[in-house]
């Protein structure tokens, strides 16, 4: 993490006050939450609509923070303390991260896409760890606040940083990539998330492609070659170093053999005799693995060693996470996020897994899909195979549209729709036993992980 004295900080960001009496104060890392203060942190307060972090500056210093930023328009800064006055604390956080990034001798991989960013990040970091000291975005720290915090948390002896870049609208990824200055970028796919803000998949593709604007001139672009919205924009990039992955044989890397079970996937790729074992559910995650493999190979990790990296892989929570239920059932917790693309992939997974007598889908609203949201949900229900799925439980007003679609293919007695989560949980418990497999999936805002927690073995 960043370790600098305030004299050095003054050269890294624009400071509005005289720091000469505190020039030798050393800061170690940054923090924006007094509940997480560590000794020596630089505390960064933000002015919010409901709360002002400046009210907690003195508390943060008492708890061990070495210094704190202070926004210029907030009155009564405690200047007898090591306070760094800046025009805007958020802008100062971003400026500090950019300056620190520029001082680091490090390779950066930036990852974006509609689905699979976090999984691909975890895979890429694991593979690169076979050769380098690697740090990665923790949790969902992938926005205009999270990414600067991640950069400022990088150790100076780290060789590679794997950084996830998220967005909700145009210009956001461009800002993040220019701050991070990646040496390689991965675009996992183009889905339907953010249609509400961007209007079309074409708009989403353009927004994701902003990641290239911060890429080093000789940097690597890795993308899903099966996606025309990407291929049509990237196949004529001139001198750019471009690699593609996908299911089709016209990609640089593609699977020639795949099989799955409830432990994960086995697959082979073109040009390599090795069979790879990926301890992650869902054949769609083989594609995420291919993106990670192409990137790791570019940085000198041989394909023949990658099984070692896959063997120790631990994904961020609520991504295809297999857990045990109280009644002996198996639960696939994929409740972190959802879009039509990822929902279809998850349903395909549970449909094709063998060894279970009963399979239940627990599906909730997919958010931010724009004017066609009801149609997207209806089609999800309509696509369910009645020969492979026994029950469909839905939650939320849009989830009810999934139920309506399911009614076109399944008997109504096998479809249950709920607006109350506890009622859903109580009914679900009546249907589970040690021969049951459940999928729990919805957008993050629906908090369907609460269903998993209620069913999970204590």
Let me know whether 274 and 370 are in one domain.
no
Claim to verify: residue 290 and residue 336 sit in the same structural domain: no
| Residue pair 369/445 in contact by the 8 Å Cβ criterion | no
Hunting for tokens 């972190």 — which residue is that?
336
Please write the tens of the pLDDT for every residue from 341-387: 889 989 998 998 888 999 999 999 999 888 889 999 999 999 999 99
Asked, for residue 359, whether it belongs to a domain, the answer is yes
CATH for 359: 3.90.190.20
Most confident of 33-37, 288-292, 452-456: 288-292
In a domain, 418, yes or no: yes
CATH number of the domain at 190, please: 3.40.1190.10
The count of other CB atoms within 10 Å of the CB of residue 154 is 21
Q: Would you say residue 325 lies in a domain?
A: yes
Across the chain, what does the average pLDDT equal? Answer: 93
CATH number of the domain bearing residue 68 = 3.40.1390.10
In this structure, of 72-81, 89-98, 191-200, 339-348, the range with the lowest mean pLDDT score is 191-200
Whether 163 and 285 map to the same domain: the answer is yes
Q: How far apart are CA 213 and CA 436, in angstroms?
A: 48
Claim to verify: residue 329 and residue 298 sit in the same structural domain: no
Query: Do residues 267 and 162 both lie within one domain?
Result: yes
- What percentage of the chain has pLDDT greater than the value 90? 79
Q: Are residues 176 and 31 in the same domain?
A: no
Give yes or no: residues 242 and 108 share one domain.
yes
Q: Pick from 274, 292, 311: which residue ends a domain?
A: 311
Q: Please indicate, yes or no, whether residues 196 and 265 belong to a single structural domain of this protein.
A: yes
Residue pLDDT, tens place only, 256-303: 999 988 788 999 999 999 999 999 888 889 999 999 999 999 999 999
Residue 386 lies in a domain: yes
**Does residue 95 lie within any of the structural domains?**
no
Q: Are residues 355 and 420 in the same domain?
A: yes
Consecutive H or E run containing 177: helix 172-180
Count of structural domains within the chain: 3
> Considering the domain boundaries, does residue 432 fall inside one?
yes
pLDDT the model gives residue 238: 65
Query: Are 450 and 388 in a shared domain?
Result: yes
Residues 45 and 186 in one domain: no
Question: Residue 65's domain spans which residues?
Answer: 3-88
């Amino acid at each position: 993490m960043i370790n600098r004295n305030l004299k050095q900080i003054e050269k890294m960001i624009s400071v509005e006050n005289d720091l000469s009496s505190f020039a030798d104060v050393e800061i170690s890392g940054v923090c924006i939450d007094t509940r997480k203060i560590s000794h020596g942190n630089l505390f960064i307060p933000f002015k919010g609509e409901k709360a002002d972090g400046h009210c907690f500056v003195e508390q943060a210093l008492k708890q061990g923070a070495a210094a704190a930023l202070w926004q210029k328009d907030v009155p009564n800064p405690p200047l007898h303390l090591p306070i760094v006055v800046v025009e805007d604390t958020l802008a100062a956080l971003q400026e500090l991260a950019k300056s620190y990034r520029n001082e680091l001798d490090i390779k950066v991989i930036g990852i974006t896409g509609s689905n699979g960013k976090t999984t691909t990040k975890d895979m890429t970091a694991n593979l690169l760890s076979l050769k380098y000291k690697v740090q990665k975005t923790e949790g969902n720290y992938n926005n205009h606040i999270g990414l600067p915090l991640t950069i400022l948390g990088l150790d100076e002896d780290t060789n590679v940083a794997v950084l996830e870049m998220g967005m909700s609208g145009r210009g956001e990824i461009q800002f993040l990539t220019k701050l991070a200055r990646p040496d390689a970028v991965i675009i996992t796919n183009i889905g339907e998330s953010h249609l509400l803000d961007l209007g079309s998949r074409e708009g989403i593709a353009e927004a994701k492609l902003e990641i290239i604007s911060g890429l080093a001139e000789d940097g690597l672009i890795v993308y899903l070659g099966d996606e025309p919205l990407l291929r049509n924009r990237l196949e004529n990039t001139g001198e750019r170093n471009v690699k593609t992955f996908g299911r089709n044989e016209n990609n640089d890397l593609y699977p020639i053999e795949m099989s799955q079970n409830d432990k994960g996937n086995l697959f082979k790729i073109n040009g390599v005799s090795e069979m790879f074992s990926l301890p992650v559910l869902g054949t769609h995650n083989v594609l995420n693995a291919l993106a990670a493999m192409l990137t790791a190979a570019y940085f000198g990790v041989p394909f023949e060693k990658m099984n070692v990296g896959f063997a120790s892989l631990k994904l961020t929570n609520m991504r295809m996470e297999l857990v045990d239920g109280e009644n002996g059932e198996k639960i696939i917790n994929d409740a972190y996020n959802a879009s039509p693309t990822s929902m279809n992939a998850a349903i395909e997974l549970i449909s094709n897994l063998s060894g279970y007598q009963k399979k239940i889908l627990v599906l909730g609203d997919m958010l931010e899909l724009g004017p066609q949201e009801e149609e997207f949900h209806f089609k999800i229900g309509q696509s369910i195979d009645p020969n492979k799925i026994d029950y469909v439980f839905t939650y939320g007003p849009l989830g009810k549209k999934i139920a309506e679609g399911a009614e076109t293919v399944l008997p109504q007695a096998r479809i249950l729709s709920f607006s109350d989560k506890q009622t859903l949980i109580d009914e679900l418990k009546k249907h589970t036993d040690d021969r049951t497999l459940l999928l729990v999936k919805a957008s993050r805002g629906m908090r369907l992980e609460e269903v998993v927690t209620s069913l999970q073995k204590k």
